[in-house]
Amino acid sequence: MNLTGHHAVITGAGSGIGRATAERLAEAGCQVTLIGRHIGRLQETADRIGDLAFAAPADVTDPDALAAAIEAGRDRFGPVDILINNAGAATSAPFLKTDADAFRAMLALNLEAPAEATRLILPGMLTRRRGRIVNVASTAGLKGYAYVSAYVAAKHGLVGLTRALALEVASKGVTVNAVCPGFTETDLVARSVRSIMAKTGRSEDEARAALAAENPQGRLITPDEVAQTIVWLCGEGASGVNGTAVPVAGGEL
């Protein structure tokens, strides 16, 4: 795939799926603006990639900071052709112990921040009649999981946003899709493993096995598997793919 001359903005780009996606896009010749809270991780990713990468630290739940980071990327690489809304996190608790503030925090990060990034970037795509938006949702956007109700609600919302927006822009040269990874070797899963260990007394291997068991292949997904799906959705070969939610989960769904 050749994405030379294209510019992608990737949120949550300092590690995991975001880092793998940035590296894969850069391999295809794409310039990448890396957004996230942890400047050290972002800069490490940018250094790994080289001149095609620019680190723009920001908390994506802060609209002003997000807008400034996107604008800094535009100043460096020009108009944005590709938006990867990857930043996200999950907190685990029974629904009745998930207060309103905790619920809103999950919505702010996993749903409202992708919507805000899209508001900032979509107008330019529509003007140029060219663009790709890929929202990194989760299998939690397509099914339920116990004890993560706020996260599940937010990811279902992100899949719904994907499907609705895809219809609005279908005739305007822009596609909007989601990828829905199962349990993946990321910091989020590492936190889930620690939580299982603390709450159940299981060993790390037992906790990881419990998560891997959700996948019929009996394993965790790798960030690179998700990244390669994202990059495919950004290419010309996926021009007819719009409004989809692609599971990367070994057959879980």
- Give the residue extent of every domain in the chain: 7-182+222-246, 184-220
**Which one of 14, 46, 111, 151 is the catalytic residue?**
151
> How far is residue 194's CA from residue 204's CA, in Å, rounded to a whole number?
7
The CATH topology of domain 7-182+222-246 is Rossmann fold (3.40.50)
For the beta sheet containing 7-11, the strands, ordered from the edge strand earlier in sequence to the opposite edge, are 53-57, 31-36, 7-11, 82-85, 131-136, 174-181, 245-248
Q: Can you point out the beta strands (E) in the chain?
A: 7-11, 31-36, 53-57, 82-85, 131-136, 174-181, 245-248
Please tell me what DSSP assigns to residue 140: G
Q: Exposed/middle/buried for 2, CB within 10 Å: 0-12, 13-18, 19+?
A: exposed
- Comparing 86-90, 132-136, 197-201, the range with the smallest average pLDDT is 197-201
Could you confirm whether 145 is annotated as catalytic? no
Distance CA 134, CA 222 (A): 18
pLDDT tens by residue, 106-149? 999 999 999 999 999 999 999 999 999 999 999 999 999 999 99
Q: pLDDT grade, residue 50 (50/70/90)?
A: very high
pLDDT > 90 fraction of the chain, expressed in percent and rounded: 86
